[in-house]
Amino acid sequence: MSIFCDECKKNIATVFLTKVSGEEVSKVQLCEACSKKMEETSEAVNLFAFLPQILTGFSGQPEDAADDILTGALVKCDSCGTSFNDFQKMGFLGCPDCYRALGEPLERVIMDFQGSTGHKGKMPSRVSEDAKLRRRLIDLEQNLERQIIEEDYEAAASVRDKIREIREKLYPGVDEYE
Amino acid sequence: MSKGNPVGACTDWLSNKGPGYPVVISSRARTARNIDGLKFPTVAAPDELEKARGIALEVVSRCVAEDRDWNISFAEELSPEDLGYMVEEHLVSGAFAGDIEGRAIASDWKEPRSVLVNEEDHIRIQAVLPGAQFKNVWKVVDELDSIMDREILYSFDPGMGYLTSCPSNAGTGLRISAMLHLPALVITGEIAKTISALGSAGIYVRGLHGEGSGVAGNIFQISNRRTLGESEESIVSYMEYTVQQIVDNERTARKMMLRDSEIELSDRVYRALGIVERARRLYYQEALELVSQLKLGLDLDILAIKEFYMPQVEVSISPHHMTELTGVDVDSEAIDRERAIYLRRLLDL
C-alpha cells in the first residue's frame, strides 16, 4: 500500500478518509495540503475522515469499531460550526442542530453507545400533536407485536384498530393493512 | 452539618436513613434539558450563557420558588471554599465548581431538590433522597421538570428525544444513580466481578463523587448508562432491580465473611478502631477507609461503639467541611491533625 497522497501522488499521506457515495464506500488517503483543498470544495460533504481512535472512551470497543466508523472532519454544523472531529475531541456537541448536521457518523456513535436512536420517554408539553401521535403509534405497534407473540388475539385486534385510527389521522388515505 | 451549605440547600439525605440502609445510602435523579434556539453551554459565548441563565432563573423564580424558601445563587458569587463545600455535599459536581462562568444553582431549603444552570446543559434538575427510593426521587424531578417545561421551549427531536450537549445524555436526559456502601464485596474481592457484570449490563460504576472520581471508603455510585430508547419508568425500574441485586450480593458477602472468616473480619475492624483511637493525623482518604471498616463492624455487631450514619461522617470529615469547622486552611497539614481529633470526638472514642 502506497504511503503517498492519492491526489498529488507526491506528499506523504497523513489524512485517511472514507468516501461515501450512495451505497459505495471507498478509502482515500491525502496529504494535509490536498485534504485542506478538499475541505474547501463542495465534494467534501460526502467525505468523512477516518480516525481509528474515534470511539475511545465512548464505546468501550475502539478496536472493533475503528475500521468501519466514518467520521466527519469535514462535516460541520452550519449553525455553530462544530465538526465531528470537534465532537470527538471535546465529547460535546455545540447546539441542537448538530444532531442533524453531523448526520450518519454521529448517529452511529449514538447507536453504539445508547443501543437506540428512538426516544420512548417524556415529551415536552408543547410538542406538536403529530409528534405525539407518531410516538403513540410506535408504542402501539410494539404492543401489537408482543400480543401476537403471546397469542392474545383479542387484545391485538383492539390495538390494531387503534393503530388504524392513528394512521388515518397521520397519513390520510394510506392503510398498510389493506 | 456544622452550618449548613452556603446556599441553604436541603440535604436531609445526609442524616436520614432510607430503605436498603445500611448498604444503600441515597438515590439521585437528574434530568438534562436545553433551551431551544441557544447553543449548548459547552460552546456558548458569555452573552449566550447569560441569556440562558436569565431564562432559566426567571422561570424558577416565577413558577417554582415563588412564596417558597428557595435560594438562587450565581456561581460567580460563591467563593471557591463555598463551591468546595457544595461539591462535598454532592450538591454540584467538581466540573460545575471548576468553571463557574454563567452558572447558577437554585435550591429548595425544604426539599432535597435543585436546579443547576449552564453546567454541561442549560438546565439540570436534580433530587436526592435517602436509601433506595428511585420512584420517589424520579417523581420529585419529574414534577419540577413538568413545571419548567410549561414555560420553556426545550430542544427536542421526536426521534432523539431531549437534545443534550453530550449525546450520552440524549433521549430522556435522565440519570438515576445510587450511592452504595459495599465493604464486604471489596474485602472478599467480589467487587471486580460485580463491576464487570454491571458494565455489561449498561450500568456505570463510579467513585464517591461520580464521574472521574476515585473510589474511597468503599462507597460506589452506580447509574444507568443508556438514556435513549427506554422510558423514564423503565430506567427507574431497571435501576431499582439492579440495586436490589447488588444489595443482595453485599448482604450475602457479609454473611459469608461472618461465617467463614470471623476472626479475620474482627481483626480488620478492631485494627481500624485502634488507628482511629490512637492516630494523631488522618488523611481524608485514609479516614474514609477506616470509617468504612468501623461501619461494617457496627452493622455486623462486631463493634460496640456509638452508631453513626455513614454519609454524615463521610461529608463532615471532608476537607472543606473540616476547614469550616476548625478554621484550618484546607491545604495545610494541620487539617489532618484536626480530622483525627474530630473523628474521635464524633464517634465518642
B122: chain A residues, CB-CB within 8 Å = none
Alpha-carbon distance B145 to nearest alpha carbon in chain A (angstroms): 10
Cβ distance of B229 and A115 shorter than 8 Å: yes
Q: Is A28 helix (H, G, I), strand (E, B) or coil?
A: strand
pLDDT of residue B29: 98
Q: Hey, which residues 79-108 in chain A have their CB within 8 Å of chain B? A: 79-80, 82, 90-96, 99, 106
Cα separations in angstroms, A46 against A54, A84, B16: 18, 13, 57
Cβ distance of B40 and A135 shorter than 8 Å: no
A97-150 pLDDT, tens per residue?
A: 999 999 888 998 899 889 888 899 999 987 767 777 777 887 788 889 889 999
Looking at chain B, the domain(s) classified CATH 3.30.590.10 span 12-252
B158: chain A residues, CB-CB within 8 Å = 119, 123, 127, 131, 134-135
pTM of the model: 0.79
Cα separations in angstroms, B339 against A71, A154, B278, B324, B336: 51, 68, 12, 12, 5
Per-residue pLDDT for A63 more than 50?
no
The residues pairing with A49 across neighbouring beta strands, listed in sequence order, are: A17, A71
Task: Choose the closest CB to B40 out of A60, A92, A120.
Answer: A92
Task: Choose the closest CB to B34 out of A90, A96, A121.
Answer: A96
DSSP string, A49-116: E--TTTTTTTTS-HHHHHTT--B-SS-B-TTT--BHHHHHHHS--SSTTHHHHTHHHHHHHHHHHHS-
Contact B144, B56 (CB under 8 A): no
Secondary structure letter of residue B222 according to DSSP: E
A69-105 pLDDT, tens per residue?
A: 444 567 889 999 999 888 988 889 999 999 999 988 8
Q: For the CA atoms of B21, B31, A57, A89, what is the dihedral angle to 10 degrees?
A: -150
Cell numbers found for residue A61:
470497543
Cβ distance of A119 and B229 shorter than 8 Å: yes
Per-residue pLDDT for A44 more than 50?
no
pLDDT of residue A139: 78
Contact B55, B117 (CB under 8 A): no
Q: Which residues contact B185 (CB under 8 A, 6 or more apart)?
A: B191, B194, B246, B249, B250, B253
pLDDT < 50 positions in chain B = 1-2
Average model confidence (pLDDT) across chain A: 73
Cell numbers found for residue B71:
435560594
Cβ distance of A93 and B154 shorter than 8 Å: no
What's the pLDDT band for A26 if we cut at 50, 70, 90? Answer: low
pLDDT of residue A74: 72
Architecture per CATH, domain B12-252, reads as 2-Layer Sandwich (3.30)
Pairs across A and B, CB distance < 8 A: 114
B30: chain A residues, CB-CB within 8 Å = none
Instruction: State phi, psi for A149 to the nearest 5 degrees.
Output: -60, -40
Cell numbers found for residue B324:
469550616
Report the residue of chain A nearest B41, measured CA to CA.
Answer: A94
Distance CA A152, CA B337 (A): 70
Q: For the CA atoms of B184, B285, B337, B78, what is the dihedral angle to 10 degrees?
A: -130
Q: Which one-letter amino acid corresponds to residue A155?
A: A
Distance CA B278, CA B266 (A): 18
Cell numbers found for residue B117:
444552570
